[in-house]
């Protein structure tokens, strides 16, 4: 369908997927495939654009009446005689888009006007030119601007993007708050969003979600009349998903393939130094260290969005976990099974993965599902995983 108007162009596109569509936690996911060249020569009226056009066409994968995946055509190329089509979910749209909306200053100090400003030039504590001398009154306290909830910023950016006539994608978002307020309560470290800083909308959303330690998930579904497809972003109440002790994922039962497990290698670090806002010797920084009986391996990471020590430390903890993960199962392929029927899990769920790994033996490690590629016709799925303890 046309991404802007929602007008359907074809109900049965001859799209041959190179792999099942991929849904992703905190990302747009992807779908790739090819289309016969004769089909591409058709023109869609009345706009005159080819049926399949970059940043104009949306493709949807439907199975048994349910929208399994939806996204925008982002790139077209040739593969032999066919056209190769790359699609990304609607949440890819903010990436690379500049922000030109109103200024946000969350938790900023606002100096109150004071009628006695500059009226004690000799600094003797008295108002200049008064007879008899009058003491300078106490300066009023500065106020702190309202602090924005992280999700309010995400909604604000989406509203800004869709306020343009050529940006009306019809994306809706949950209305609840994350509970995480941007900026500091004392006004010392405000969080700002200003167009003259050339912020990227997608990167800003990612940064804000990381600060809030929160998740989002894109989904598409039919409206009640099955005449329109709705596009919605679910916002977690911080993290999406739950521990699934009711499901079983075991090699030799429903796990049919295991990606090669990996350690950290050169990526390993147990000392993380976070460089924050500021310049020179006054640059804010934080250090996060873990005593793991290994040699000290240090890494510097940057988070120039804040000078707040607590925020920098929290950012460092996440980076430290990322750089000191133990053995990880990157992904598993599973078959439809009573242990875990296809679709019985949700992205963000934590599952116990039981596998036999060479040199490590039999392992049972809790992982989090961060992406899925489900092939309902084949009765199989590929789950992308991250160790659950990475998230704390």
**What was the pLDDT predicted at 330?**
92
pLDDT for 322 beyond 80:
no
- How far is it, in rounded angstroms, from Cα 20 to Cα 32? 8
- As a whole number, mean pLDDT of residues 226-236 equals 95
41 Cβ contact partners less than 8 Å away, ≥ 6 residues apart? 50
Banded model confidence at residue 360, pLDDT cuts 50, 70, 90: confident
Question: pLDDT higher for 165 or 140?
Answer: 165
**What was the pLDDT predicted at 264?**
65
pLDDT digits (tens, 9 = 90+) for 87-100: 999 999 999 999 99
- How far is it, in rounded angstroms, from Cα 285 to Cα 375? 47
**What was the pLDDT predicted at 71?**
97
Residues 31 and 87 sit within 8 Å (Cβ to Cβ): yes
pLDDT digits (tens, 9 = 90+) for 49-77: 888 999 999 999 998 889 999 999 999 99
Task: Give me the chain's average pLDDT, please.
Answer: 90
**What was the pLDDT predicted at 214?**
95
pLDDT for 40 beyond 80:
no
- Provide the 10 A C-beta neighbour count for residue 63: 13
- Provide the 10 A C-beta neighbour count for residue 350: 20
Q: Choose the weakest-confidence range: 28-37, 194-203, 284-293, 342-351.
A: 284-293
280 Cβ contact partners less than 8 Å away, ≥ 6 residues apart? none
- How far is it, in rounded angstroms, from Cα 314 to Cα 316? 5
Banded model confidence at residue 131, pLDDT cuts 50, 70, 90: confident
pLDDT digits (tens, 9 = 90+) for 275-311: 988 878 889 899 999 888 888 989 999 888 788 888 8
- As a whole number, mean pLDDT of residues 87-114 equals 92
Q: Nearest to residue 208, comparing CAs of 311, 300, 287, 310? A: 311
């Amino acid at each position: 369908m046309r991404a802007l108007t929602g007008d359907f162009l074809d109900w049965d596109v001859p799209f041959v997927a190179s792999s099942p569509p991929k849904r992703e936690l905190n990302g747009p996911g992807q779908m790739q495939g090819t289309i016969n060249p004769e089909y591409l020569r058709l023109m869609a009226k009345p706009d005159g654009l080819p049926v399949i056009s970059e940043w104009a066409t949306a493709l949807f994968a439907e199975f048994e009446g349910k929208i399994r995946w939806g996204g925008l055509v982002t790139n077209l190329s040739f593969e032999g005689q066919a056209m190769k089509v790359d699609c990304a979910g609607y949440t890819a749209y903010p990436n690379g888009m500049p922000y030109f909306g109103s200024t946000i200053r969350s938790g900023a100090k606002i100096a109150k006007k004071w009628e006695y400003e500059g009226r004690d030039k000799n600094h003797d504590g008295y108002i200049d030119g008064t007879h008899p001398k009058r003491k300078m009154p106490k300066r009023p306290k500065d106020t702190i601007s309202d602090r924005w909830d992280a999700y309010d910023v995400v909604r604000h950016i989406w509203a800004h993007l869709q306020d343009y006539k050529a940006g009306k994608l019809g994306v809706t978002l949950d209305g609840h708050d994350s509970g995480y307020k941007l900026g500091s309560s004392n006004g010392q470290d405000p969080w700002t969003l200003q167009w003259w800083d050339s912020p990227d909308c997608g990167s800003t959303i990612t940064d804000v979600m990381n600060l809030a330690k929160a998740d989002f998930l894109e989904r598409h579904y039919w409206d009640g009349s099955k005449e329109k497809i709705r596009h919605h972003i679910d916002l977690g109440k911080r993290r999406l998903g739950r521990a699934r002790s009711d499901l079983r994922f075991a090699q030799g039962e429903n796990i049919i393939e295991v990606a090669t497990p990996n350690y950290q290698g050169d990526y390993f670090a147990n000392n993380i130094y976070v460089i924050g806002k500021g310049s020179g010797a006054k640059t804010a920084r934080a250090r996060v260290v873990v005593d793991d009986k290994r040699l000290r391996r240090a890494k510097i990471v940057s988070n120039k969005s804040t000078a707040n020590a607590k925020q920098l430390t929290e950012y460092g903890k996440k980076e430290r976990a990322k750089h000191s993960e133990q053995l990880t199962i990157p992904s598993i392929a599973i078959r439809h099974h009573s242990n875990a029927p296809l679709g019985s899990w949700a992205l963000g769920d934590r599952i116990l993965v039981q596998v036999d790994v060479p040199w490590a033996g039999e392992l049972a490690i809790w992982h989090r599902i961060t992406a899925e590629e489900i092939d309902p016709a084949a009765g199989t799925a590929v789950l992308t995983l991250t160790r659950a303890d990475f998230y704390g």
